[in-house]
């Protein structure tokens, strides 16, 4: 409890003097850079020795950074900036790894250099965060969480199969999940993603349903919503997740609409368009003209339209929270 209060107090002091354009990148003082002072001296010594031996035997440079807060900056962006400013890994090999832990923000990230992305893919880095480090952090044990996380990273880079590391899954399963189901973490908390997702999908979801249910005019909505389904989900799910959403929309919309065309309800709506020039769908009154269609809400409302050593990172890795 006292440690948490100390961390919060220090974070408030840092906030008062924070920079306007991103969190300041600290000095690289060694293999373990604990600017939040949450690790014991024994843990720092143990980690430093392990990381040194790993670098001597493999040339891979694994560095740990612990900072109190990012003042709202995305941990993905911050880790990327720090990695490339510190130039972790050997020049030409780009074999560096940066483990960033932010106690106040309750976020962490494993940033992986270009040269190690095949040895430590995003899905494996995510598993280390979720299954190895997060449980320890939730228990308040930063020392063991960072020790176990660093050990897992080094073991993977040294060729230890994931299934032999606690909490990780076999490589074959990991690769399959990475290809089919893994979503890139956009650097938001689960609460932020739920709220933003409710807003985004609440809006485009309504128009998507209307487009599916509306004869004629619905195809205009289908094409109109393509850029929205291509971009908005990135905020919630990241690029990989957004691509999956976009593919589902592009295929699911026309398939569902073609299936509904066979129903009596849809045929009646189409008949109303042909005979009366309008139809009421879900509380919206749709009107068709000779050259254009419009919609309005309610029966009498007016119509409206909607319009280190020199290494580099390309952003590979994974983020998480606890």
* Cβ within 8 Å of residue 14, ≥6 positions away: 68, 69, 71
Q: Answer yes or no: is pLDDT of 297 > 60.
A: no
Query: Between the CA of residue 24 and those of 4, 241, 314, what are the distances in Å?
Result: 23, 30, 20
Give percent above pLDDT 70 in the chain: 72
* Distance between CA atoms of residues 77 and 186, nearest Å: 10
CA 51 and chain centroid, separation = 28
| pLDDT interval class at 86 (50, 70, 90) | very high
CATH 3.10.310.50 domain position(s) in the chain? 2-182+312-321
More confident residue, 252 or 236: 252
Looking at the DSSP bridge assignments, the partners of residue 111 are: 98, 317
- Partners of 61 in the beta sheet? 96
pLDDT digits (tens, 9 = 90+) for 151-201: 999 999 999 888 787 666 555 444 444 444 444 555 566 777 788 888 888
- Taking a C-beta distance cutoff of 8 angstroms, is the pair 254, 225 a contact? no
Which residues lie closer than 8 Å to 16 by C-beta, 6 or more apart?
none
pTM here is 0.54
Instruction: Output the CATH code of domain 2-182+312-321.
Output: 3.10.310.50
Per-residue pLDDT reduced to its tens digit, 104-124:
999 999 999 999 999 999 989
């Amino acid at each position: 409890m006292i440690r948490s209060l100390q961390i919060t107090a220090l974070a408030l002091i840092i906030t008062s003097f924070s920079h306007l354009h991103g969190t300041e990148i600290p000095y690289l003082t060694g293999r373990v850079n604990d600017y939040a002072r949450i690790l014991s001296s024994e843990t720092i010594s143990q980690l430093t020795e392990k990381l040194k031996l790993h670098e001597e035997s493999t040339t891979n440079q694994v560095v740990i950074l612990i900072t109190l807060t990012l003042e709202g900056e995305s941990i993905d962006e911050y880790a990327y900036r720090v990695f490339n400013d510190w130039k972790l890994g050997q020049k030409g090999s780009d074999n560096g790894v940066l483990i960033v832990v932010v106690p106040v923000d309750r976020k962490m990230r494993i940033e992986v250099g270009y040269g190690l992305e095949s040895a430590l893919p995003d899905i494996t880095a995510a598993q280390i965060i979720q299954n190895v480090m997060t449980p320890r952090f939730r228990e308040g044990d930063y020392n063991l969480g960072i020790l176990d996380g660093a050990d897992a990273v080094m073991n993977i880079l040294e060729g230890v199969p994931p299934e032999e590391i606690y909490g990780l899954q076999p490589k074959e399963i990991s690769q399959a999940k990475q290809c089919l189901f893994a979503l890139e973490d956009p650097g938001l908390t689960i609460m932020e993603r739920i709220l933003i997702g409710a807003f985004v999908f609440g809006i485009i979801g309504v128009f998507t349903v209307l487009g599916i249910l509306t004869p004629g005019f619905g195809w205009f909505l289908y094409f109109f919503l393509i850029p929205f389904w291509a971009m908005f989900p990135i905020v919630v799910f990241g690029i990989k997740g957004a691509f999956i959403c976009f593919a589902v929309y592009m295929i699911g919309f026309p398939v569902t609409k073609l299936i509904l065309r066979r129903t009596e309800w849809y045929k009646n709506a189409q008949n109303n368009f042909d005979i009366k020039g309008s139809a009421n769908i879900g509380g919206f009154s749709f009107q068709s003209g000779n050259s254009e269609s419009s919609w309005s809400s309610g029966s009498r409302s007016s119509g409206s339209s909607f319009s280190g050593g020199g290494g580099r990172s390309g952003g590979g890795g994974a983020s998480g929270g606890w």
